[in-house]
A and B are shown apart, each in its own frame.
Chain A
Amino acid sequence: MTDYWDPLIERMPVDELKKVQEEKLVQLVNYVYNHSPFYKKRFDKAGISPDDIRSLADITRLPFTTKQDLRDTYPTGMFCVPQKMIVRYHASSGTTGKPIVVGYTQNDIKEWTISLSRALTSIGVGREDVVQVGYGYGLFTGGLGLHYGAEMVGASAIPTSSGNTERQIELMQDLGSTVIACTPSYFLYMSEVVNKLGLNFKDDTKLKCGVFGAEPWSQEMRQRIETQTEIKAYDIFGTSEISGPLFTECTYQDGIHIWADQFLIEVIDPKTGEQLPDGERGELVVTTLVKEALPLIRYRIGDLTVINSEPCKCGRTHPRIMRILGRTDDMIIVRGINVFPGQVEAVLLTIPEVAEHYQLIIDRMGELDTMTVQVEVTKDVFSDKISDLMRLEKKVGKSLKTVLNLSAKVELVEPGTIPRSMGKAQRVIDKRKI
């Protein structure tokens, strides 16, 4: 059984979909040129006139937009509409440099909500569901984004936000939540609390699935969550610059559906900026086709992924991006080797003795970078024989070395000592100060 929110669009033949995109791209380029002084200047400088863009292939002639552009034009320098058209603002937390402010017109909110309605419908969420929204509400887009989507599909939204975990679990039981939306690391923490209370999701709640995102998580983490809690774990993707959480996988869990009538995606080589063909791993670039307040042309989101344009088994024809394992910003360089926390996670979670919580500590001893991987020993496997524990350390170190081609020091730590997160987990502590 597959349900669609908008079957005509979601199953539109690919060539028709491309035509829609082409029309919208041409309109968009004219729109930003005429409404955003920033883009006018940028196009003029690159010697591009809106008339040069006539087909989808022409998109490669357009310059990229970066996060730095949004910071440089803080707060609203790239907006295409005056304040009176704006009905909402969100802003990034701004841990590095100035925050990024995103404005929405009434129609932007509507399109955002439509995108999530299609996504939630594709994982079987509808009127019969109670959606507990454990993403933060506020300047962060996660909470309100999911909230509007859940309401639009007719589900009952519970705006718990993150934190106050025992209360969350109580509400989950009392109101019969069937869906939880939060970061995967917060859900792991919630599971720990559920166990501590002597409960389990299967017998004591009605939870059937989780919508997890806002931080990269691996396929191995999904398997752990699904086996331990017996719920389906779906990946959700989106970032505040392009609205917020927008896209999910469908029940086939084979890539995240990107609504092509709203967004045009490309994957590029992060070094050369060249567009890469389907199936090749590169940096995701998004052009917002229908946004009014803050449309973005070829925005370099920073996530590394692969596009699959084959129609999905669910019948949807829109392109999919395969699970996102990291962002160019998350990448750390240790002794000249690129390391993504997601890779480390994937390695660790294939080892059954290792718990789901881990942290990477990067430091420098003299001229040499060091990477320490802290992992928690699970209570079930604790052996009082030192040799068993040292064997486990060696096993973890060896698996990491095989995959990363990098020697890491493995440190076993007590369960519960790696900080738990209510939002995005801090997996990497980089102590190198150069």
Chain B
Amino acid sequence: MENKMIKQISVFAENKPARLEKMTEILKLANINIRAFTIAEAGDFGVLRMVVDKPDIAHRQLNEAGFTVSETDVLGVEMSDSPGALHEIAHILGSNNINVDYAYAFVTATQKALLIIRVDNISNAIAVLGNAGVALIGMKEVEKI
């Protein structure tokens, strides 16, 4: 199951411009490549979420620099970059009663769309998506993107 999951790094941050700068500087110095990145904001604070090539190192470096960091297992769902692709994924999860906590997407160099999702029941989600023939990427693929 491990190779079907991605480790996402989440960072708690107050909405102050310098924090993002500081954080990205730490990642740059640690030679970490960011594959996907999103900021979710809720008024006075936000949560930065990202998929990186070396999550363990990123976690440690950010933690040492005083950031509040957590690692979350998420799914990287491969979609064809065409209309209706997202709907199909949503349909599979929805009809199996799996709730999506949040999602964000990006397009890879190979013209595939990659959807990062956090769900309430990750092992169920892996099973139903697998049964439906949807490809999930793991950390190995993230390193190669």
Binding site for B on A (CB under 8 A): 377, 379, 382-387, 389-390, 411-417
Contacts and interface: CB of A to CB of B under 8 A. Distances in A.
B70 A382 contact: yes
B45 A413 contact: yes
A382 B45 contact: no
A67 to B, nearest CB: 38
Nearest to B64: A196
Given A386-B47, A412-B44, A412-B45, A417 B70 contact: no
Contact of B49 (A384, A412, A415): A384
Interface of B: 8, 10, 12-14, 19, 40, 42, 44-45, 47, 49, 63, 66-70, 72, 101-102, 118
Contacts of A387: 101
Given A379-B68, A411-B45, A413-B45, 20 more contacts: A379-B69, A382-B69, A383-B70, A384-B8, A384-B47, A384-B70, A385-B101, A385-B118, A386-B40, A386-B42, A386-B47, A387-B101, A389-B47, A390-B42, A411-B44, A413-B14, A414-B66, A414-B67, A415-B68, A416-B66
A376 to B, nearest CB: 9
B13 A414 contact: yes
Contacts of B72: 384
The 6 closest A-B pairs by CB, nearest first: A384-B10, A382-B68, A411-B44, A386-B42, A384-B72, A412-B45
A382 B14 CA distance: 13
20 contacts: A377-B12, A377-B68, A379-B63, A379-B68, A382-B70, A383-B70, A384-B47, A384-B49, A384-B118, A385-B47, A385-B102, A386-B102, A389-B42, A412-B12, A412-B44, A412-B45, A413-B45, A414-B14, A414-B19, A415-B66
B40 A382 contact: no
A390 B41 CA distance: 11
Contacts of A386: 40, 42, 47, 102
A366 to B, nearest CB: 20
B74 to A, nearest CB: 9
A387 B99 CA distance: 14
Contacts of B101: 385, 387
Contacts of B40: 386
